[in-house]
Amino acid sequence: MLRFFYGPMDCGKSTLALQINHNHARQGRHGLLLTKLDRAGTARISSRVGLTANATEVGADTDLHDVVQAEWRAGRRVDYLICDEAQFYAPPQIEQAADLADRAGIDVYAFGLATDFRSELFPGSRRLFELADELIRLQVEVLCWCGRPGQQNARVVDGEVIRTGDQILVADTASAEDTAARVDVRYQVLCRRHYRDGDLGPAVPSAGQLALGTPSARNGSAW
Ligand SMILES: Nc1ncnc2c1ncn2[C@@H]1O[C@H](COP(=O)(O)OP(=O)(O)O)[C@@H](O)[C@H]1O
Ligand SMILES: Cc1cn([C@H]2C[C@H](O)[C@@H](COP(=O)(O)O)O2)c(=O)[nH]c1=O
């Protein structure tokens, strides 16, 4: 079986990938973790809940058959593959995953974004929509600042939603205010309306502003 679990950034895809791996491994099944361009650096699957695991990095030229055959040659079974950040896989790599499901009976669990910052399908995700046995939209809602369900991944540069640029640009949803790091590019999940309007919502007041009694910008926001 080839299953594609998809949803916007921050909806728990990598967490679920690691949970599924944990549950299968606990029952003695042997799997391989694969990823491509995880935020935490190469060859890791990292979830914002704090779970991480080593993984095989899928490069532009990686053939998934070779990855599995290397395991077989080493005398190890491969019962399942966990493929995180699957939106970045090239369409032929998705074909290879489908082949492994069909010809080798390997259960393939793929996780990724459906659409990019322009709200267009990633090529790898498109191929997964075309080929997967099951499409599972993740149920953990990521909320837009207005409270509606967020489905669009806005790319934010210097406080503006941008709509042109390279499709792949690895970055996080956390802003400079949330982290000690200097963040030039970040992503923000928005509802369709606010994504289309390019409306990132009111600025979140700092703790100091709230202590001084400034009304919460979020509560007082106009639609
Ligand atoms: N401190 C926290 N406490 C509880 N849940 C958290 C915390 N930080 C992050 N999360 C959960 O982790 C989710 C993001 O998980 P992650 O697997 O990194 O998402 P994705 O791979 O889809 O980008 C958030 O939607 C939230 O539910
Ligand atoms: C929308 C969008 C995202 N990306 C990058 C940003 C992150 O590094 C990953 C998504 O990670 P997550 O685990 O789902 O949070 O994808 C990108 O390169 N291009 C885009 O358009």
User: Is 223 a member of any domain?
Assistant: no
The whole-angstrom separation of Cα 31 and Cα 79 is: 6
Q: Which whole number is the average pLDDT over 139-168?
A: 95
- Whether the pLDDT of residue 107 is over 70: the answer is yes
User: Is 202 a member of any domain?
Assistant: no
Distance from the alpha carbon of residue 35 to the mean position of ligand 1, in angstroms: 18
pLDDT given for residue 221 in this prediction: 45
Active site residue 120: no
Q: Which whole number is the average pLDDT over 37-57?
A: 94
How is 175-222 classified by DSSP, letter by letter? -TTTSSS--SEEEEEE-HHHHHHT---SPPPPHHHHHTTPPPTTTT--
Pairing of strands 107-112, 44-46: unpaired
Residue nearest to atom 2 of ligand 2 (CA): 116
Q: Which of 71, 85, 160, 177 is an active site residue?
A: 85
Distance from the alpha carbon of residue 48 to the mean position of ligand 1, in angstroms: 5
**Of the bound ligands, which one is closest to the alpha carbon of residue 37?**
2
pLDDT given for residue 124 in this prediction: 98
pLDDT tens across 49-72, in order? 999 999 999 999 999 999 999 999
pLDDT given for residue 110 in this prediction: 99
Q: Which whole number is the average pLDDT over 139-147?
A: 92
User: Is 172 a member of any domain?
Assistant: no
pTM score of the predicted model: 0.92
What average pLDDT does the chain have?
A: 91
The model's confidence at residue 203, banded by pLDDT at 50, 70 and 90, is confident
Distance from the alpha carbon of residue 133 to the mean position of ligand 1, in angstroms: 26
For ligand 2, pick from 140, 153, 162, 189 the residue to mutate: most ligand atoms within 8 Å of CB: 153
Residue with tokens 């806005």: 154
Residue 31, domain CATH: 3.40.50.300
The model's confidence at residue 205, banded by pLDDT at 50, 70 and 90, is low
**Residues spanned by the domain of 40:** 2-137
User: Is 99 a member of any domain?
Assistant: yes
CA distances in angstroms from 103 to 69, 96, 171, 181, listed in the order given: 13, 10, 36, 46
Distance from the alpha carbon of residue 47 to the mean position of ligand 1, in angstroms: 7
Q: Is 64 helix (H, G, I), strand (E, B) or coil?
A: helix
pLDDT given for residue 212 in this prediction: 44
Phi–psi pair at 37, nearest 5 degrees: 60, 45
User: Is 144 a member of any domain?
Assistant: no
Structural domain count, the chain: 1
**ipTM, two decimals:** 0.98
Does any ligand 1 atom lie closer than 6 A to the CB of residue 53? Answer: no
User: Is 101 a member of any domain?
Assistant: yes
Residue 11 CA, closest ligand 1 atom number: 22
